[in-house]
Structure 1
Amino acid sequence: MKTKAILLLSVLLTNLAMAQDKEGSEDHPLIPRFGQSRIYDYEKVSFDRYNLATGKTTDYTQLSSKKTIEGEITKIYYTISTSDATTFEIYRNYMNALKAKNAEILFECMDNSCGKYFLDALSKDASFLIPAYYGEKFGYIAGKFSKDGKTYFVTVFAGYGLGEQGYEIHVIETEDMEQKIDLDGIEAALNEEGKVSLYGILFETGSATLKSESYTEIALVADYLKRNPTEKVYVVGHTDNTGGFDSNMSLSEKRAQSVLEALQSKHGIQSSRLKAAGVGPVAPVSTNSTEEGRTKNRRVELVRNSSN
């Protein structure tokens, strides 16, 4: 009887917390709430642009780095009793949750490491709902993961101020990138992230022999390099984890070398501007437990080489 009473009390408390949520709001199905927090404010739009902060502030109004993405945007602002959680506890909880989803952490910071007036910059660029005075103590995370054919960008801001504790979660759901990319896409990715995945460069199974359809995307790479004559790049081969580690490492480097040689022989790109490397299965962008994930992991990347 005692166990049943405890369970009933737990259900009642959970229902009470949910009843205090803003009308029409709900948790995001992939990012659950922390503890006994409640939803104070909530917004959801089917499609819009979003500025994702990927670097600290350089001054009052400017982020040193940000990424503009498009998709369905959900914003949820939670409050929680200061006796139930600390800023760092919330921050660490969501960091662990994102890592458990094999998320790529694009940027994370706490307090002074975020730069001056960081929350003000978030409110301006990404329209955060959380009050500015929550910036007394705070932590920020920006992450990215894929699930069921979609890519999710997630930002978490946990903040404390004037004796109040809260956190805000933004989830931007986008369609996974098409397998091929255009010249402007290559340039934008290299400018924003310093690298670009080239899924249109394909090889025969278990081989470094390029398929004929690969030359279209290789030509785009050559066009980029001709448009930017001082640019140098690494051509990096990646595999999934099927097969032996040593064979995958060797195969990935041979595939990168094949692309490098095609850029030289077919497009006249100087060898001094190119360097091939293979990292096999050690830098996946998705899970290797599904065919969809393995397909994403088998790729060639172009990485900006800023060395002299």
Structure 2
Amino acid sequence: MKAVAALLAFALPAQAADLAMPFPATQTFAETRPLSSHRIATGRFADTLPSVTAEGAVTRRIWQVSGAETTLQVLAPLRDQLTEQGWATVFDCATRACGGFDFRFEIDVTPAPQMFVDLADFRYLAAQKDDAWTTLLVSRSADLSFVQMTQVDPDGTVEPTKSTSNPASPPGLTAVSDVAQMLVTTGRAVLSDLEFKTGSADLVQDSYASLDALAAFLDANPATTIALVGHTDAEGGAAGNLAISRRRADSARALLTGAYGIAPGRVETQGVGFFAPITRNDTEAGRRINRRVEVVITSTP
């Protein structure tokens, strides 16, 4: 299989798990860092994420896998291989049992198009062997599965490398605008024109070009569901920012499901406060950029 050939050609640290994909697979990303760190989830997200941070030689590989019908069909054979090689499972979960949306955005994931995570269908596993760690993240989109494997070996020695291919975009989505193209390509987009009243969660207008585009995208892709995610700058306390970011996402959802007629069941909301900035918060321009609502695809056909 292509994945096996790529695996054999890739330099791995001594404690690395030697896994073969259980279905036809194409490796689309590979990176080694001689000394780095990786945060490893050791329990379900519930207000916070139980985790440890491992340091050492870090290796990450990503595959696109065809032929599997479920994420468990992909993960289970990989888990069995780890067990056979002496790795002990520390944490193993699926979607809501992991903590859903919050869990996904607390863990380290390579951005699309190399890695795609359906927030309604993913699995995670963390395994340990002596002081070394392996994590697996598996998700799906249409006929493709995506596997991200990250390994940390405190005693490992690797040369710094990074390679990518041109993976296929998740199939089954139709783009009808710039917002839609971002959703098709990366699975997320910023609704940059949404404007809220100062210190409020109320939108200034009753229509926006970004919501026009998002509604058209959802009409063109009737099986797709989304999450609207509110963000704030770093002014003020965490609790207040979490609350207002969620209320602003709720306001955008109300407009999308009301004036634009999108079914409420297709749109969920989350607020993450100031915990996911996209630029620095020490300038007014940076704070303005960080105050935003994003749309994230949570499931596709």
TM-score, L = length of structure 2: 0.45
Larger Rg: 1
Q: Which has the higher helix share?
A: 1
Greater relative contact order: 1 or 2 (C-alpha under 8 angstroms, separation 6 or more)?
2
